[in-house]
Amino acid sequence: MEAFLHQIFSGLAAGGIYASVALALVMIYTATHHINFAQGEMAMFATFIGWALIEWGGLNFWVAFLLTIVIAFCGGFAIERIVLRPLHDKPVLSIIIAFIGLLVIFNALAGWIFGFTIKAFPSPFPTSPPFGNRFLNWHEIGTVGITVVVLLLLFAFFRLTPLGLAMRAAAFNPESARLVGIRVGLMLALGWGLAAAIGSVAGMLVAHVVYLDPNMMAGILLYGFASALLGGIDNPGGAVVGGFIVGVAENVLGAYVIGTELKLSVALVLIIGVLLVKPAGLFGRRIVTRV
């Protein structure tokens, strides 16, 4: 029983990680209607910047944390302007190739600058077991907490602010949005910036758990995809719930049903299953496009 509870809580902790990555994917999808394959590597690179600020710059964790988010936002903004804007009216395939190119570039760049040995990333949370239990530690609770806060902020931003509305409009129907005076190009770049910023938050939370190295996000991104698809690729709340479901399911199935060898297959089966059976995901809206 104790082991079972342990698996559940450890699954929730992992779910928090997948949820934050899924959030970034949803963000960029909501803003641009693309799935960014380089999302994980961008988050990893931002995390390295955070690490450098703390280790080399000697900054306090939270200062470095906020600074990294700002840098990541600017980086994402710049990438959209420099790399993706010229591809604006090109076929989807060229954009995907650009994403894959970005993935390779960030991965190699991180290795070149920071090296490949794993690095311990500090956690801002206390190390003592919270409330005297050993099932969850403060970092895991903090990860879940921050993910939920980010989710609420995003929700408020998209639902309650004019800028959020403008961004949704720009992604959903660029022509009409432009006609009512929304600067669609700027909105896309902002969307990229926001997604990069959320990714950097996810990266900095993940890095303490899985250790920081250039290949840190490779496995996680796949689970992030599964979570986002399960919850609905256009629904931030769904993505977070999806993350927790994937985390717990992966742990419990791995430990008691299918064995550890097939854990990754759970994510792949989920992706394919969702796409086949319910492409909109559990909480996503079905979108009907007039052609």
Number of helical H runs and strand E runs in the chain: 11, 0
Residues 241-270 touching other proteins, rule: CB under 8 A, are 250-251, 254-255, 260-261, 263-264
> Taking the complex as a whole, how short is the minimal distance between the CB of residue 197 and other proteins, in angstroms?
22
Asked if 209 interacts with other proteins (CB under 8 A), we say yes
Asked if 134 interacts with other proteins (CB under 8 A), we say yes
Rounded Cα distance between 54 and 35, Å, is 31
Which of 149-157, 179-187, 206-214, 274-282 is the region at the interface with other proteins (rule: CB under 8 A)? Answer: 206-214
Asked if 130 interacts with other proteins (CB under 8 A), we say no
Q: 11, 15, 142, 243: which one contacts other proteins (CB under 8 A)?
A: 11
Which has the closest alpha carbon to 109: 22, 31, 44, 21?
Answer: 44
Which has the closest alpha carbon to 67: 52, 80, 82?
Answer: 52
Asked if 223 interacts with other proteins (CB under 8 A), we say yes
Classify residue 136 as left (phi > 0), alpha (psi -120 to 50) or beta.
beta
Asked if 15 interacts with other proteins (CB under 8 A), we say no
Whole-angstrom CA distances from 202 to 97, 221, 248 are: 24, 11, 18
Rounded Cα distance between 51 and 57, Å, is 9
Residues 68-127 touching other proteins, rule: CB under 8 A, are 107-108, 111, 115-120
Asked if 25 interacts with other proteins (CB under 8 A), we say no
HSE-CB for 117 with a 13 A CA cutoff: 1
Tokens of 98: 């650009």
Binding site for other proteins (CB under 8 A): 2-3, 6-7, 10-11, 13-14, 17, 107-108, 111, 115-120, 134, 137, 206, 209-211, 213-215, 218-220, 222-223, 250-251, 254-255, 260-261, 263-264
